[in-house]
Chains A and B, each alone.
Chain A
Amino acid sequence: MQTELTEHETAEQSDGESRERSARTPPDRCLSLTVEGPWGHFRRVDGNTIKATYRLPPRTTVAGLLAAVAGYERDGYYDVFDRDRSGIAVQPVASGDDASETASIPRTMNLPENSLTTSNEGMKAVNARGKVSVRYPDPQADRQRVNYEVLVEPAYRLDVWLADDAAYDRLHDRLADGRSEYVPSLGLSEFLASVTFHGEFSPEQLSESDDPVAVESALPAPDGIVPSSDHPHGTERSPGDMTTTERSGEFTGRKTTEYLRWAYSRDGTALKATGVDAMRVDGRTVVFS
């Protein structure tokens, strides 16, 4: 079922100030949380006949998830999570039950779905003109079985800083209260996410050095990665930033403006890299994207 969501305030309405922090300066504070769920699907943009998933949530997906928690409407949060004014670190971790195990990239399986459209033209309505109306996908519509590659028990530790203080506080409040304005999910809306807030931390910049540093999070733009033949890392390229565009019809409110290349450890071994802007957060070494 789908209910029409009321207009929420947009980033522009609520977060007017505090844009003075320049791009990529070390943040003095960040929020840290874990998102996890039984399933996840972060659709690769390369192809569509089979819905393959990225191993890491794309940066834009993380931004959307956090925006859902904070309560921004669709297309209303890209400024706040702009790459110049925010930073997000993503670290695959072991999910709840297996927390003692080494965190490796979640395994995947194929999940066939007979999906029904939730677009307006495909919806049926009960009591459409009444005070209370219910709209639902037409169960008699044609369906086709489509395979989705899904992540099994994905879990990610996220660290996030926002230059916009009001937006930061807004997100902080929701996380600290254990509350979310919209339902957070891992890619697809049916793959619900549970969120654990670990608190606020002061990232410490690691001193510059030519020696490789061991990084626990995934590495954005990993040019300096030191390859290991015993622990080969994985890579993927996913949307990194979006911008709001003028709407001239449906599905026209945004476009991708940047893609990010990620390297991740497959087996939980920390990645070694030189020339990265690594920070210590809560006893871990991470790189913000």
Chain B
Amino acid sequence: MLDAEALRNLDDGTIDAALPDRPVTSVRDLQSLYGRLYALGRGLTGEYGPFLSPDAAADLVGEERLVVVRVELADDEVALADDPVRVVPYVEERSGPTGDGLVPDLSHVAHAKFEAARGVDHSITHLSGQTNGPEKHADHAVERFTRWPSEDAVREEASDHDDGWLLDALDELGGDDDAMERVAEAVAEVTREGQYLHTVAFGFEGDAVATTDRFDADATWHLPGEVEVLQEAMVRRKTTKFRAKNEAEDASGDGTCYVGDTDEEVYGVVDDPLKWYLSKQMERFPRFDPDQSWRTQGLGREAAIAAQNATTFLDACAEPAPGVSAFYFPYFERTPTVGDADELYSTLVRQTEGIDENAVASLYDDLQDEPGEPAEDLRFVLMVVEKYQKDRWRLLAFEPNGTVHYGLELAEKHQDALNSPLFGEDGPLPVREEFALLAPGRNRLEWLNVVTGVGYFARTCAPPDDDDEPSSDDLRFRATADVVGGHRIEAASLLSAYVDRIAERFDPDDDFPFPGTAVAEQHAQLTALANGDLLATDADTDYTVDTTMTETTTDDGGEPSRTERLDEFIERHDALADGERQGVFALGALVGRISRYQRSKNRSMTAVTRHPIDKISRHNVTQVATEVIDANVVYSEEEGYNGTMYAELMDEVVDGLLDRDPDDWDLDTADLRYHYAMGIAYGLNDRSTSEYDNE
């Protein structure tokens, strides 16, 4: 249907004429550009092409599903032809008439769907429901005469257009009960249950009515796409929706088009396919009047219809995310060239086919292969949207100026973290190919796709617990927008969401109650954000981590001892230079180690279950430390040690926690819990438990 290479078959002039002469700078600009590309690729050319909706009846293409009622025009009157009803195949494109004497392709049938559930389509051509039976089809066919011609906009066109008599005559024929009965009986006979397109074909001589550029002189019967007044009536019906909606009766005036910069009649209540601009809003401004909305929101006719045509491409750019949809709309930060249009178009068509990458990563991928197409101009709009009703969406996060720059930078930092000595098959923190944020084997592009997705934060952060509905306060969505826009994320909020997620995943009844890999994912992310300068912290806090590859060598050149490994881990973390944080981390590590020991001895209750992270605070951390140290002393005695097991951790805990009264600490609770959890992950993951003292 949509061909990714369709634009390559068009001449450059045609494409260039459809492109704006300045870069995309607003969501409406974007909609308009996507809509124009869609119309170009879909062959919706000419004056009326962009108003048609060929995809609505796409399933009928190639099928005998076009019901045609034939009428003859003569002397400003309309009469049913003999044997008026035919069912013919509906085709994509045809160069001449069929044996039935008409050209039943999409540009001649000229279907323009009306999205609303009620009412007839904008065009006289109408699409039935999918499960209609013959009687319903009879109704649809009859309504081409009894209903469509009497619609308000069609009545207005009847009085304005030179060929308005045709619309009047159709209306009049609709009042002829005998004629309508003939139509109904014939249609009921030739249709069966299923979906059909219903239209009217006209037989006339010479210049009885003005025709369009689609007129086929060889045809005996002419479909609505060939008759100007029918097309104009369709256009009027469709544009009426741009000016009249809800409270607005006529939101139009002589203004300036927000997209085209042209002075023309502009409309104020043009449908937004992304439902960000809705005409019925709880606005609290004095003197607010929807009929005057064109003064600040004005779109001209061409831009308005282009925006409507963007729907297919806009929808295709959605990525699923928890409870919401995240849209990635790529564009170039430059006046689009024919080459840009082709790149963008083929990316968008591929998105409609449902590929795994988001539209931005996909387009970036393409640009890599083509020298001379600098990706630094690649931008995108990110919108995280909750679709709480079919036509009511809530925008939860928005970044109009997303660039791949920050994503690539973050991707690199994340990869660096996983490839650093902090992560590995045997620790200190685990790598796991099956975990999205712990898979070191990915390439840069795959990482770009990961870090720009909502899933990047949805994996590591808990949703806010006080609200069941998705909310714009939800850090998972805000953080995604921040990353692609290059804005720093508040570290305190992030750690708090991390801690909530760990608590949520903690399962005391499980054999492995502590979500160690979740913490490792968080740690890789926190490190990447800090190292990529995307974390906002207060002046004396620094979460950056040394992720260089240099391995610490030991004095004797052998494997580093457990103490050396711990020292190196701590040294690489700037945050752990703080004594209190270091103490908390060591306490966590000790809890992790002891739990591992306890598990090896088949003890039912482990330290990690006894001291869950959401119960740790400044007020009880000393108490917990004392209990854990006591337990370790007891186990050491049981094992027959002269000293204690894990002496290196014992020292750290004592130095860090018992120096100052924790009630006087500056350490924020979320920060404390996070580093405690990181310690547990570290301790649990250390497999060198066979040598408890390893000094």
Q: Is A117 positioned at the interface, with any CB of B under 8 Å from its CB?
A: yes
Closest to A146 in B: B282
CB pair B289–A250 under 8 Å, yes or no, is: yes
Q: Please report which residues of chain A, range 239-289, place their CB below 8 angstroms from some CB of chain B when the two chains form the complex.
A: 239, 245, 249-252, 254-259, 261, 266-267
Closest to A255 in B: B295
With A120-B286, A236-B25, A255-B253 given, is the CB distance from A49 to B278 under 8 Å?
Answer: yes
Q: Mark A16-54, 1 if CB is under 8 A from B, else 0.
A: 000000000000000000000000000011111110100
CB pair A256–B395 under 8 Å, yes or no, is: no
Q: How far is the CA of A284 from the CA of B285 in the complex (A)?
A: 38
Q: Is A116 positioned at the interface, with any CB of B under 8 Å from its CB?
A: yes
Residues of B within 8 A of A254 (CB): 295
CB pair A119–B487 under 8 Å, yes or no, is: no
Residues of B within 8 A of A228 (CB): 376
CB pair B487–A256 under 8 Å, yes or no, is: no
Residues of B within 8 A of A180 (CB): none
CB pair A118–B275 under 8 Å, yes or no, is: no
CB pair A236–B376 under 8 Å, yes or no, is: no
CB pair B400–A47 under 8 Å, yes or no, is: no
Closest to A245 in B: B295
With A50-B394, A256-B256, A258-B256 given, is the CB distance from A235 to B23 under 8 Å?
Answer: yes
CB pair A47–B272 under 8 Å, yes or no, is: yes
Q: How far is the CA of A255 from the CA of B22 in the complex (A)?
A: 23
Q: How far is the CA of A260 from the CA of B485 in the complex (A)?
A: 21
- Which of under 10, 10 to 19, 20 to 34, or 35 or more describes the interface residues of A? 35 or more
Residues of A within 8 A of B294 (CB): 255
Q: Is A110 positioned at the interface, with any CB of B under 8 Å from its CB?
A: yes
Grouping DSSP codes into helix (H, G, I), strand (E, B) and loop, the B interface class, with mixed when no group exceeds half, is loop
Q: Mark B239-258, 1 if CB is under 8 A from A, else 0.
A: 00000000000000101101
Q: Is B692 positioned at the interface, with any CB of A under 8 Å from its CB?
A: no
Among B274, B287, B377, chain A packs the most CB atoms within 10 A around the CB of B287
CB pair A46–B28 under 8 Å, yes or no, is: yes
CB pair B298–A256 under 8 Å, yes or no, is: yes
Closest to B278 in A: A49
CB pair A252–B283 under 8 Å, yes or no, is: no
Q: Is B398 positioned at the interface, with any CB of A under 8 Å from its CB?
A: yes
Q: Is A205 positioned at the interface, with any CB of B under 8 Å from its CB?
A: no
Q: How far is the CA of A118 from the CA of B287 in the complex (A)?
A: 9
Q: Please report which residues of chain A, range 83-139, place their CB below 8 angstroms from some CB of chain B when the two chains form the complex.
A: 107, 110, 115-120
Residues of B within 8 A of A256 (CB): 255-256, 295-296, 298
Closest to A119 in B: B286
Residues of A within 8 A of B393 (CB): 49
Residues of A within 8 A of B253 (CB): 255
Residues of A within 8 A of B258 (CB): 45, 237, 259
Q: Is A199 positioned at the interface, with any CB of B under 8 Å from its CB?
A: no
Query: How far apart are A130's CB and chain B's nearest CB, in angstroms?
Result: 23
Among A149, A257, A261, chain B packs the most CB atoms within 10 A around the CB of A261
Closest to B255 in A: A255
Q: Mark B247-280, 1 if CB is under 8 A from A, else 0.
A: 0000001011010010100000000101111100
Query: How far apart are A282's CB and chain B's nearest CB, in angstroms?
Result: 29
Residues of A within 8 A of B25 (CB): 235-237, 261
CB pair B256–A144 under 8 Å, yes or no, is: no
Q: How far is the CA of A249 from the CA of B335 in the complex (A)?
A: 40
Top 6 A-B residue pairs of the complex, sorted by shortest distance between their CB atoms: A47-B276, A237-B25, A115-B284, A250-B287, A255-B295, A229-B376
